[in-house]
Amino acid sequence: MASNPMDSSTLPTDDYETLISTTDVELLKRAWRNEKAAPEILQFETDLIQRIREQILLMDETVEEFTSSGIDPLTVSLYQMDLDRSQFLLRSYLRIRIQKIEKYMFHIESTDELWNRLSREEKNFARRCTDDLKRHLDETVLSKLPDNYQSVQKQSVISEDDDMVPKPQLDTFVVCRSKEYLTGIQLEDGPVDDRSKLFEMEPGVLYFICYKSIKALVESGKIDLV
């Protein structure tokens, strides 16, 4: 969000970013954008969401108190708008994750790494979804097929991998921005010693890049998706 050229000349971008991104709402906004832009589901922000929930509840009570204690309606409406904005972010964040879970539930369920990224509620939801869909597919189609074709995951018993399970496309291109100067990003699956394929990122500059190559950096919070 470091967009003001006046500021970027006096402060390095990363300092400026940390300076303005101290509120949890700002952090939630970052998490929301990353989640929206990433093709796969990211780690659930347990602590952040917990804090945001508490803040929203508290603010909701405050606004009610204001209304009943006759504080000027303009002030109340400003607090209400602030509350609405935070609630929108929270809802949208949770909703994007639910959409991803619905789309890739079998894949998430069978991959430990992804499964552990879900919150407790999301795990419950995913379990119910997969159970329902499995039962539905069994009852309507699979149980009527020959023995070799009854798996939800595989086309037939000779399939080597789970070829009936939708997976996120990790070679999607995303737009991203680094907070710091990064070097040695590997762009292709080739050998690491091939320097020509290593890529560097300047802080604050936007890049279109294959999600797969920067996946780890998004997960560690070094790169933000835009």
Partner 1 sequence: MKMLLKSSSFSSFLMAGQSVSALSLFSAEELEFIAEDETIEIIPNLRMEPLNLLCGDFGPFFPQIPTQVPLWLAVALKKRGKCTIRPPEWMAVEKLTQVLEAERDSQEMSEQLPFHYVEISRLLFDLARDDIPDVYMVRSLIEDIRDVRFHKVETDLEAFNGRTVAVKIKNLSAMEVNIVRPFIGRALQAFYKHDSPELIPDPERVSDRRQQVATTAPRRQLRR
For the segment 150-169, give every residue that binds partner 1 (CB under 8 A).
Answer: none
Query: 203 and 178 in contact (C-beta within 8 Å)?
Result: yes
- Give the nearer residue to partner 1 in terms of CB position, either 89 or 126: 89
Position 182, amino acid: L
Residue 70 CA to residue 168 CA, distance in Å, equals 52
Total residues binding partner 1 (CB under 8 A): 48
Q: Is 77 in the site for partner 1 (CB under 8 A)?
A: yes
- Would you count residue 215 as binding partner 1 (CB under 8 A)? no
User: What residues between 94 and 153 interact with partner 1 by CB under 8 A?
Assistant: none
CA angle 34, 35, 38 (to 5 degrees): 80
Nearer to partner 1, 59 or 164 (CB): 59
Answer yes or no: are the C-beta atoms of 95 and 21 closer than 8 Å: no
- Residue 210 as a binder of partner 1 (CB under 8 A): the answer is yes
Our CA dihedral for 182, 188, 189, 192, rounded to 10 degrees, sits at -50
Closer Cβ to partner 1, 126 or 185, answer by number: 185
Nearer to partner 1, 92 or 153 (CB): 92
For 31, other C-beta atoms within 10 Å of its C-beta total 22
Output 23 or 116, the one with its CB closest to partner 1.
23
Q: Which candidate, 83, 109, 96, places its Cα nearest to that of 31? A: 96
Exactly one of 59, 133, 152, 198 binds partner 1 (CB under 8 A); that residue is 59
**Closest separation between CB of residue 2 and partner 1, Å?**
8
Among 14, 26, 162, 219, binds partner 1 (CB under 8 A): 26
3-class SS of residue 220: coil
Residue 66 found at the interface with partner 1 (CB under 8 A): no
Residue with Cβ nearer partner 1 (140 or 196): 196
Among 27, 43, 49, 55, binds partner 1 (CB under 8 A): 55
The residue from 11, 19, 57, 78 that contacts partner 1 (CB under 8 A) is 78
Query: Hey, CA dihedral for 161, 165, 166, 168, is it positive or negative?
Result: negative
Instruction: Label residue 204 left, alpha or beta by phi (over 0 means left) and psi (-120 to 50 means alpha).
Output: left
